Amino acid sequence: MIDFKPISMHDKEKYEKYLPFTKERGCEYSFANLIMWGEQKIAEVHNVLVRLSFYEGHYSYAFPIGKGDKEEALKEIVQDASERNIPLSFFGVYKEDAELLEKLYPENFAFIKARDGFDYVYDINSLAYLHGRKYHSKRNHLHRFKESFPDYTCIPLSKDNLHLAKELSDKWYEEKLAENPENDYSLEQTALERAFENYTELSMEGLLLEHKGIILAFTMGSKMNDNTFDVHFEKAITPNAYVAINKEFASYLRNKHPEAKFLDREEDMGLAGLRKAKESYRPAFLTEKYRAVFINEYLKPVCPDESCKDSLFTLWQEAFGDSEAFLNTFWQTAFASHRCRCIIKDNEALVALYIFDCLYKGKKLAYIYAVATAKAHRGKGLCTLLMADTHRYLIKKGYAGAILVPAKEALFAFYENMGYKNCSYVNEYEVTPSVDTIPLTEINCDEYATLRREHLDEGAVLQEGENLSFLSTYAKFYKGEDFIFCTYIEDTKLNCLEILGNTEKCAEIVKTLNCEKGVFRTKGKDKPFAMYYPLSDTFIEMPSYLGFAFD
Confidence at residue 449, expressed as pLDDT on a 0 to 100 scale: 96
Within this chain, do residues 228 and 303 fall inside the same structural domain, yes or no?
no
Angle at 94 between CA 88 and CA 95, to 5 degrees: 110
24 pLDDT more than 70: no
DSSP characters for 276-314?
Answer: HHHHHT--SEEE--EEEEE--GGG--B---GGGHHHHHH
21 pLDDT band (50/70/90 cuts)?
low
Confidence at residue 130, expressed as pLDDT on a 0 to 100 scale: 95
Mean per-residue pLDDT, 525-549: 89
| Domain-embedded: residue 280 | no
Q: Which of 117, 144, 168 is the endpoint of a domain?
A: 117
Within this chain, do residues 95 and 15 fall inside the same structural domain, yes or no?
yes
| Domain-embedded: residue 240 | yes
Whole-number Å distance between alpha carbons of 220 and 208: 9
Task: Kindly report the backbone phi and psi dihedral angles of residue 160, in degrees, each rounded to the nearest multiple of 5, phi listed first.
Answer: -75, -25
> What is the extent of the structural domain holding 454?
426-528
Whole-number Å distance between alpha carbons of 255 and 260: 9
- Between 447 and 178, residue with greater pLDDT: 447
Mean per-residue pLDDT, 105-118: 86
Confidence at residue 20, expressed as pLDDT on a 0 to 100 scale: 67
Q: Please, what is the average pLDDT of the chain?
A: 92
Provide the greatest CA pair distance for the chain: 83
Confidence at residue 23, expressed as pLDDT on a 0 to 100 scale: 63
Q: What is the pLDDT of residues 488-505, one digit of tens each?
A: 999 999 999 999 999 999
Within this chain, do residues 400 and 485 fall inside the same structural domain, yes or no?
no
Q: Which of 266, 286, 315 is the endpoint of a domain?
A: 266
Mean per-residue pLDDT, 121-150: 95
426 pLDDT band (50/70/90 cuts)?
very high
Within this chain, do residues 108 and 220 fall inside the same structural domain, yes or no?
no
Mean per-residue pLDDT, 262-289: 90
Within this chain, do residues 95 and 106 fall inside the same structural domain, yes or no?
yes
| Domain-embedded: residue 545 | no
Within this chain, do residues 467 and 405 fall inside the same structural domain, yes or no?
no
CA distances 417 to 105, 118, 308, 368, 372, Å, are: 25, 10, 30, 16, 17
58 pLDDT band (50/70/90 cuts)?
confident
Residue 199 sits in a domain whose CATH number is 3.40.630.30
74 pLDDT more than 70: yes
- Asked if residue 49 lies in contact with residue 42, where contact means CB atoms within 8 angstroms, the answer is yes
| Domain-embedded: residue 275 | no
| Domain-embedded: residue 221 | yes
**Total structural domains in the chain?**
4
Within this chain, do residues 220 and 256 fall inside the same structural domain, yes or no?
yes
Which residues 6+ apart lie within 8 Å of 57 measured at CB? none
Within this chain, do residues 134 and 252 fall inside the same structural domain, yes or no?
yes
Within this chain, do residues 99 and 204 fall inside the same structural domain, yes or no?
no
Confidence at residue 493, expressed as pLDDT on a 0 to 100 scale: 96
Within this chain, do residues 175 and 208 fall inside the same structural domain, yes or no?
yes
Within this chain, do residues 300 and 227 fall inside the same structural domain, yes or no?
no
Mean per-residue pLDDT, 246-261: 95
The pTM (predicted TM-score) of the whole model is 0.75
Confidence at residue 3, expressed as pLDDT on a 0 to 100 scale: 95
Most confident stretch, 23-37, 283-297, 394-408: 394-408
Within this chain, do residues 173 and 67 fall inside the same structural domain, yes or no?
no
What region, left, alpha or beta, does residue 215 occupy, with left being phi > 0 and alpha being psi -120 to 50 degrees? beta
Amino acid type, 109: F
Mean per-residue pLDDT, 221-237: 93
